[in-house]
Structure 1
Amino acid sequence: MKTIAHRELRNRSADVLRSVQAGESFEVTNNGEVVAMLTPPNSVAMQGVRFRPPLTHGGFSALPRVASAVTVQGTLDDLRADR
């Protein structure tokens, strides 16, 4: 299993995912500590891992719209002033 830093994974994600698709596995590190494993779904490392479907699907369109007296631009200006 290869080791890859999270920054390298971020910068080369398409290449790494193609490698995983081809059967390679990676340990992902953050500050030298292994924090995740990328393996093909049918690999030995994934045996016994169960996946469950999401509990909800979207639903954001069903949320009620709310009018606000404050504009998005005004909120962003306030947040930027706090820096």
Structure 2
Amino acid sequence: MASSTSDDDFITVVCSNPNPIQANTTSTDIEILISVTNIPRWDLPSILCHQTVKVQAHRNRLIQHSSYFNGLLSGSFK
């Protein structure tokens, strides 16, 4: 699900959808990589057309603001 080399790194969270939204596009990409640093520029209709969305996020922010990621990334997931 996520990968990192240190606590200060960005991690990549992979989200897969076996039934992506069909778009009027000629793009054949089934995967897209986006970053939380560019949220204002996200084109959601375009992003949701991909079967796999990889989101780069700051590890410490995820841990601080989400009990789910806190447990998962801190090794104390129950």
Establish whether TM, by shorter chain, passes 0.5. Answer: no
Q: TM-score, normalised by structure 1?
A: 0.27
Q: Greater strand percent: which structure?
A: 2
Larger relative contact order, structure 1 or 2 (CA cutoff 8 Å, min sep 6):
2
TM-score, reference length from structure 2: 0.28
Higher helix share: 1
- Which of the pair has more CA radius of gyration? 1
